[in-house]
Chain A
Amino acid sequence: MYLYWGLAFVGLIITSILVGTITLDSASFDWQLLSQTRIPRTIAIVLSGMSLSVAGVIMQMLANNKFVEPTTTGTVEWAILGMLLLLIFYPQASLTVKLSVSVLFSILGAVSFLLLIKKLHTRSVIMVPLVGIIYAGIIGAVVNFIAYQQDLMQFVWVWIQGDFSMILQGRYELLWIAGLLTLLAYFIADRFTLVGLGKNVATNLGLNYSYVFAIGITLVACIAGITVVIAGVLPFLGLIVPNIVSLYFGDNLRRSIPLIACLGAMLALVCDILARILVHPFEIPVGVIMGVVGSVVFLGLLLRQTRHD
């Protein structure tokens, strides 16, 4: 079974390399095209998809709720706010500065959200993601307000749109950091599984809860911050992929993180290939397609949940 999925994954990677505005034919092997745009783009998609999905599942463990992830709980909106302020006050910032600010603000976002839901005493599992969406909306409104005052509205929402069309050799390499963080998450996966059981249970089992919690937030924020700067906002990925994997493989993260990573990468590849094909030779931003696909699946998962309540 894993073999088929593995083959599908490789198949998607190859498709992604082959699909684009320019049709490749075997007669002229255009290495320049491949190395400048196609391969970097494919790698960027795989890394983003992988890391965002894993960031999603870590956040779900931290929040003890299956329906949270960086793009639906305000983390990403905070990152956008940070980048917007950076743009207004220091527009010539280098990429490193941009990434640092983005990560910093993502940490603020993730921490503030998790503190917020600690105050929430509710029996319904749906309240937490709803609060997340509301919180994201509030921060989004702040971003809108500042952008509006600065006459940057159109700019910000184009800028932040998840889109791999501008990925080039030399422009995406810092995404590998997100990839490495995903690997790190895999190595300490067991600890996150314990965190997911709740503070009391985890501490009873000998886990240094605060320490692992802090590492978890840092991982999530770094991944969210880096992907937002390089690829834009890719919504719902961290939400639907872990939930789908969890339906079939349970919540043992040591087992499911590799699967989540692969499925996340594959989903991102499918969305981007569609983005390139649907209005060929032009492109639809991949964030739009992910938003559509993701929200439909999200609704399905929520409805499935409410039937159990």
Chain B
Amino acid sequence: MKKIFLLILTTISLLQITSLQAATTYSPPKKVVSFDLGQIDTLDYLGVPVIGVPKLHTISYLAKFQADKYVNVGSMFEPDFEIVASLEPDLIMLGARTQSKIKMMQSIAPTFDSTVWGNDYLNQFYLITEKTAALVNQSQLAAKALEDIKQQVAMIKANAKKAGKVLFVMTTGGKITVFGPGSRFGWLYNELGFEAAGDDNSLSHHGDPVSFEYLRKVNPDVLMVLDRDIAIGKDTGMAKQLLENDVIKSLKAYHNNKIIMLDGYAWYTVGTGITAMNKTLAQIQEAIAVE
């Protein structure tokens, strides 16, 4: 009697699908809403349809999500809970930018937190991608894509030191900020093996504002520029204007054609999607290719 009672109890608790870090479903979710651009990217790569996206942010190579058949669920920072609830999704995915809203989301549907932040960026990315693929039963396809990416990473690592000193800057609003090994883009140095120019080890995730003098002082072999304005879809032309000057022209990187305007959307806005990662790594490889 007691055993049967215990059996029933455990079955009930097993059947309770609680919304945890990774919602476990037995069949792939049919209606997925994603606030994380990285996962929209990955799901698109895996051929899984998504019904709701933050249309404000799906631009550039994700522009197809502007079509009417996709529902606009608000922005990443201000999701529209009503619309999300009305869609009755089987799964909601959200990332770092929407993380503060996770409790509300969990009350609507099982929620997957696909945040990738901080140290060990690439490993976190692999893990999240594998989890996402498992959720939608596309583990094999994802595994192959990740294998490709890992190979690219290995190739870059092998050649990274030859590229010389690298400086990563972000331009926004006509100002330049520098990101070093301790910052959110630190994985460029820590995991892709590049040598950092200058000695910035700050943990600031908005970067440190610098003047042109700093660029001149550091004089890196490779200058990677991320234009945040273009990355969020506002081409103000300021970055180009900013960098058309004598100080930049006196840099080593200018003479060697190693000033690289990064694909801001892939790098910064999307970041942790399979296509985004491919684009990012391809651009870096091309940039450091030795002629």
Contacts and interface: CB of A to CB of B under 8 A. Distances in A.
Given A91-B236, A282-B209, A22 B173 contact: no
Contacts, number: 95
Contacts of A152: 234
**Majority DSSP secondary structure for residues of A touching B:** loop
Interface in B235-276: 235-237, 242, 245-247, 250
A21 B214 CA distance: 6
Interface residues of A, number: 36
A160 B238 CA distance: 14
B234 A21 contact: no
A169 B232 CA distance: 30
A91 B214 contact: no
Interface residues of B, number: 31
Contacts of A279: 208
Interface stretch (A29-37, A50-58, A99-107): A29-37
B175 A154 contact: no
Contact of A151 (B213, B233, B236, B246): B233
A180 interface: no
Interface string A80-95: 0000000100011000
Contact of B173 (A91, A159, A169): A159
A206 interface: no
B20 interface: no
The dominant DSSP class at the B interface is mixed
Nearest to A168: B245
B113 interface: no
A92 B237 CA distance: 7
A294 interface: no
B217 interface: yes
A158 interface: yes
Given A163-B175, A166-B242, A168-B247, A33 B236 contact: no
A150 interface: yes
A275 to B, nearest CB: 10
Contact of B234 (A38, A155, A171, A282): A155
A154 B172 contact: yes
Of the listed residues A21, A152, A156, the one surrounded by the most CB atoms of chain B closer than 10 A to its CB is: A21
A165 B175 contact: yes
Interface string B124-162: 000000000000000000000000000000000000000
A65 B213 CA distance: 42
A151 B56 contact: yes
Contact of A33 (B172, B216, B242): B216
Contacts of A32: 250
B41 interface: no
Interface string A148-181: 0011101111111101011011110000000000
A168 B243 CA distance: 11
A166 B233 contact: no
Contact of B175 (A20, A33, A37, A158): A158
Interface of A: 20-22, 32-33, 36-38, 87, 91-92, 150-152, 154-161, 163, 165-166, 168-171, 276, 279, 281-285
23 contacts: A20-B211, A21-B211, A21-B213, A21-B217, A32-B250, A37-B211, A37-B213, A151-B56, A154-B172, A154-B173, A154-B228, A155-B236, A158-B175, A159-B173, A159-B174, A160-B173, A163-B209, A165-B175, A166-B242, A281-B198, A282-B178, A283-B211, A285-B175
